[in-house]
């Protein structure tokens, strides 16, 4: 089983800035970075070892998972998840370019989780080309 130290640390500032930039565009409150949720997200992707497998650890109440790379978080966050509901107020025409390569098949669950007012905290992690964000 891979260890957590086998993957370089992801600066929380990078993804949290993207998350909150888009939440602001959607006229939503910013989410707070949560190290426990980040650890939970890393545990989920390490356990999946390259597969998009959900694993809800204690403290996690919502989770989104998708394939991606270190430098593609915004494409995953917007195109892969938010653009499941392309007419969200604030997305504008972002889905025209950001959703290229994504097949949503009518799914809306990721976008619903990420735009839910039930969550105030987020932690994301990347391992084996799979992004995971846990929310609470």
Residue 127 lies in a domain: yes
pLDDT for the residue numbered 5: 43
pLDDT for the residue numbered 42: 96
User: pTM for the full model?
Assistant: 0.90
pLDDT for the residue numbered 3: 45
Contact 68, 75 (CB under 8 A): yes
pLDDT for the residue numbered 50: 86
Q: Report, as an integer, the average pLDDT of 45-61.
A: 94
Residue 117 lies in a domain: yes
Residue 2 lies in a domain: no
Chain mean pLDDT for the chain: 92
Contact 55, 44 (CB under 8 A): yes
Residue 65 lies in a domain: yes
E-strand ranges in 10-129 read: 32-33, 62-67, 121-127
Residue 8's contacts (CB-CB under 8 Å, 6 or more residues apart) are none
CATH of the domain at 14: 3.40.33.10
Phi-psi region of 59 (alpha: psi -120 to 50; beta: other; left: phi over 0): left
Residue 4 lies in a domain: no
Domain hosting residue 62, numbered range: 9-135
Q: Looking at the 3D structure of the chain, how many domains does it have?
A: 1
Residue 36 has pLDDT above 90, yes or no: yes
Residue 3 lies in a domain: no
* CA quadruple 49, 135, 40, 10: dihedral sign: positive
pLDDT for the residue numbered 51: 86
If one counts every other C-beta atom within 10 angstroms of the C-beta of residue 54, the result is: 12
Residue 88 lies in a domain: yes
> Greater confidence, 51 or 36?
36
**Residue 98 to residue 92: CA distance in whole angstroms:** 11
Q: What would the pLDDT profile of 82-118 be if each residue is shown by its tens digit?
A: 999 999 999 999 999 999 999 999 999 999 999 999 9
């Amino acid at each position: 089983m891979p260890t957590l130290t086998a993957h370089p640390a992801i600066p929380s500032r990078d993804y949290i800035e993207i998350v909150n930039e888009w939440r602001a565009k959607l006229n939503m409150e910013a989410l707070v970075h949560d190290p426990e949720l980040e650890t939970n997200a890393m545990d989920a992707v390490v356990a999946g070892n390259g597969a998009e497998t959900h694993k809800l650890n204690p403290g996690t109440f919502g989770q989104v998972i998708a394939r991606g790379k270190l430098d593609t978080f915004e494409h995953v966050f917007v195109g892969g998840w938010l653009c499941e509901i392309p007419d969200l107020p604030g997305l504008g025409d972002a889905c025209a370019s950001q959703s290229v390569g994504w097949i949503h098949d009518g799914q809306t669950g990721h976008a619903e989780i990420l735009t839910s007012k039930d969550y105030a905290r987020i932690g994301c992690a990347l391992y084996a080309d799979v992004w995971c964000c846990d929310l609470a």
